[in-house]
Amino acid sequence: MKAAINTVNSASFSTIFTDFKEITKARLAVSVVFSSITGYVLGAYEINFMSVLLLAFGGYCMVGASNAYNQIIEKDLDALMSRTKNRPIPSGRMTVNSAMAVAIILTILGVVALYFLNPKTAMFGAISIFLYTSVYTPLKTMTPLCVFVGAIPGAIPFMLGWVAATNEFGIEPGTLFMVQFFWQFPHFWALGWMLDEDYKKGGFKMLPTGKKDAGTALQIIMYTIWMIVISVVPVLGVTGRLQLSIPAAVIIFLMGTGMLFFALRLYEKRDNSTARKLMLASVSYITLMQVVYVLDKLI
């Protein structure tokens, strides 16, 4: 009997943990935390591991809260789409009240953790949640401009790390913000291209022209070019303490060119397979680019 109870408790805990990961979008949250820590390492004069832990914890809480609020707001639309119908709320595994409790607790914990770093970091974290839930989320069913708005909170983490390390906002964190800001357009439009049919079931307007056409592909190419340019600007010595050596700039430029190749292929082929390759290339680019920035500073 006791063994049966233990098995049930273990299964219940496993389900709760799985639903927590889904409501907070754990994989996305971890990638955001990685961006924040990268920004911290770039900005810090010396690494304080307690600060890194606070940034990682606070960053996860803020992203998790944003995603929880998002899924509460979009619960009825999520139920219409194949990709999201099995999420905790539309599937019935989690109530709206439970999800709201998770979101509020994570918001408080996140703001407090980031405030211990410095008030500016907490402020930018709070702005990120507000823009994501109160502006970006409602706009998704109204206009393709939602991607532009959503790119703002999406670009904050890379910048947030620098602010957490220095308690200053200037050209350096501004540059990090712009790198990730321009990156999001080819990334999310490639994803939107792949999921266009499913997004339309929920009434989401994600592609800039509303169609998987040459116009959308051309905008993807343009924003990819801007992303590459901004990514290598620090090699010119015009971005304060944020600097990049010529070899590192060449590596990042070549990686960006690889991403541009897939953007050009999408313009040529206009199919989901090529859009998927571009999306995967964009994920590789943002991660490797940040790694190159860090290694370039440390070496």
Other C-beta atoms within 10 Å of 147: how many? Answer: 22
User: What percent of the chain stands above pLDDT 70?
Assistant: 96
Q: Are residues 159 and 227 in the same domain?
A: no
What CATH number has the domain bearing residue 145? Answer: 1.10.357.140
What is the per-residue pLDDT for 10?
A: 52
* Residue-level pLDDT at 7: 46
Q: How many domains are contained in the chain?
A: 2
Query: How far is residue 201's CA from residue 263's CA, in Å, rounded to a whole number?
Result: 26
Residue 161 corresponds to which tokens in the numbers above?
């790390």
Which structural domain range is residue 152 located in? 1-169
SS3 content of the chain, % helix, strand, coil (to 5): 80, 0, 20
Residues 109 and 48 in one domain: yes
**Chain segment 52-99, per-residue pLDDT in tens:** 999 999 999 999 999 999 999 999 999 999 889 999 999 989 999 999
- Tens digit of each residue's pLDDT (9 = 90 or more) over 84-140: 999 999 998 999 999 999 999 999 999 999 999 999 999 999 999 999 999 999 999
> Which pLDDT tens digit goes with each residue over 227-251?
999 999 999 999 999 999 999 999 9
- Integer Cα distance of 289 and 252 in angstroms: 6
Domain boundary among 169, 185, 217: 169
Nearest to 75 by CA among 98, 51, 105: 98
Domain boundary pick from 135, 169, 203: 169
Same domain membership, residue 26 and residue 7:
yes
* Residues 58 and 163 grouped into a single domain: yes
Read off the tokens for 95: 């109530």
DSSP-derived secondary structure letter, 136: I
Question: Domain check: are 41 and 164 in the same one?
Answer: yes
* Same structural domain, 180 and 137: no
Same domain, 147 and 71: yes
Q: Of 124, 146, 169, which marks where a domain is finished?
A: 169
What is the pTM (predicted TM-score) of this model? 0.90
Q: Verify that 165 and 176 share a domain, yes or no.
A: no
CA distances to 18, 85, 139, 267 from 133, in Å: 23, 20, 10, 32
Answer yes or no: do 156 and 184 share one domain. no
Half-sphere exposure of 242 (CA within 13 A, CB side): 32
pLDDT band, residue 13 (cuts 50/70/90): confident
